[in-house]
Structure 1
Amino acid sequence: METQELHRGRLIDHVQLVVRDVAASQKFYEAVFAVLDVPMGGTGEGYFWADELFVSSKESPAAQGVLTGRHHLAFQAKDRAAVEAFHKAALGAGGKDNGAPGERPYHPGYYAAFVLDPDGNNIEAVFHGEAKRSAPSVKITF
C-alpha cells in the first residue's frame, strides 16, 4: 500500500488518537497494520504513526493533557482473508472482539470485522467486495 502519496480531495487528512498507554496501543496497531500491509510511519517519545493515523500520550503537546473519546475507525482491507487476519491479529495483540468477520447489511459484498482497541475505540477492517456501490444520498435538514 502506498502511504506517501498526497491524496487531494479526501474528506479526512489525518486523525489523532490520544491514549492512556502508548506501548499497548502501539503493540495493537503494529499487529493489525502488519496484516493490512500498512507500514508504520515512525515513533518517538510518547507517540507513533502509520499513514494518516497519529497516536500519542496525553502528555503530548498536541493532546493538551486530554484523552480522546471513543471513536470508530474503519481500515480498508484488500480481501476477505485480510479482514479475517486483522481480527485474529487484533485479538492476539490485546484487542477485544466487537464483531467477528462476516457479511454486513450495509451493501452487498460488505465484509468486515470489529475489535475494540486497548482504549475502547471501535476498530474495523472492511473489504467492499466486487459489489461495491456508492453511498446513497442523504438529505439533512437543519
Structure 2
Amino acid sequence: METQSLHRGRLIDHIQLVVRDLDATRRFYDAVFEVLGLPLGGEGDNYFWVDELFISTADSEAAAGKLTGRHHLAFQAQDRAMVDAFHKVGCAAGGTDNGAPGERPYHPGYYAAFLLDPDGNNIEAVFHGEAERSAKSVEIRFEQ
C-alpha cells in the first residue's frame, strides 16, 4: 500500500455523508471543492472523499444502509472572492441557494455563502477576515 498523507490539527477528524444520488452529489462537490482548492482524496464505486469528508451511498459498508439526514458543514475560504465563486459554481452544479454571499453578524468580518447540496445538507463557505495562520495544516504520513 502507498503512503497515505492526512492533514490534522483541526476540531473534526472526519465526517461521513450518506447520499441518495452519488453522481449528482459528486457534480456538486467537484465544483465547489475545485473553487475552494480542495483536491479529491479518492473514490470507489459507491464513495469518494476529500480531506476529512467521506461521501458514500447507503450501500457502502460504512453506511450500513442508512442515509445521514441534514447536516451543516462550513468550509474555510481564503478570501471573499472564493466565497463568491463557491456560491456561483455550487448553484450551477445542482446546489440550491440558501444564503447569498455577504457579511453575517456572527463576528466582524464574517463573510459567507450557503448552499443546499442535492440531499439538502446546508453547505457553507466562510472567510473570517484577514488573519495570520501559524501553519496551513499539520501533515501526518502513514506508511504501510
TM-score (norm 1): 0.87
Report deviation, 1:55.
Answer: 0.2
Aligned to 1:7: 8
1:112 aligns with 2:116: no
Contact 2:72–2:124 at 8 Å: present in 1 too? yes
Aligned to 1:57: 57
CA separation in 2, counterparts of 1:43 and 1:116? 22
Aligned residues: 128
Aligned to 1:90: 90
- The amino acid across from 1:130 in the alignment is E
Contact 1:109–1:131 at 8 Å: present in 2 too? no
**1:64-123 deviation digits (Å, cap 9, x = unpaired):** 000001000000000000000000010000000000000000000000000000000000
SS in 1 for 2:101: strand
SS in 1 for 2:62: coil
Report deviation, 1:131.
Answer: 7.2
Q: 5+ residue gaps in structure 2?
A: 133-144
Aligned to 1:71: 71
CA separation in 1, counterparts of 2:28 and 2:130? 29
1:130 aligns with 2:130: yes
CA separation in 1, counterparts of 2:49 and 2:131? 32
Give percent identity, aligned residues only: 71
Aligned to 2:139: none
CA separation in 1, counterparts of 2:94 and 2:41? 21
Q: Which protein has the bigger strand share?
A: 2
Contact 1:57–1:63 at 8 Å: present in 2 too? yes
Aligned to 1:137: none
TM-score (norm 2): 0.85
CA separation in 2, counterparts of 1:66 and 1:5? 27
- The amino acid across from 1:42 in the alignment is G
Contact 1:108–1:131 at 8 Å: present in 2 too? no
CA separation in 1, counterparts of 2:128 and 2:7? 23
Q: Flag the structure with more relative contact order, 1 or 2, with Cα contacts below 8 A and sequence separation at least 6.
A: 2
CA separation in 1, counterparts of 2:59 and 2:102? 38
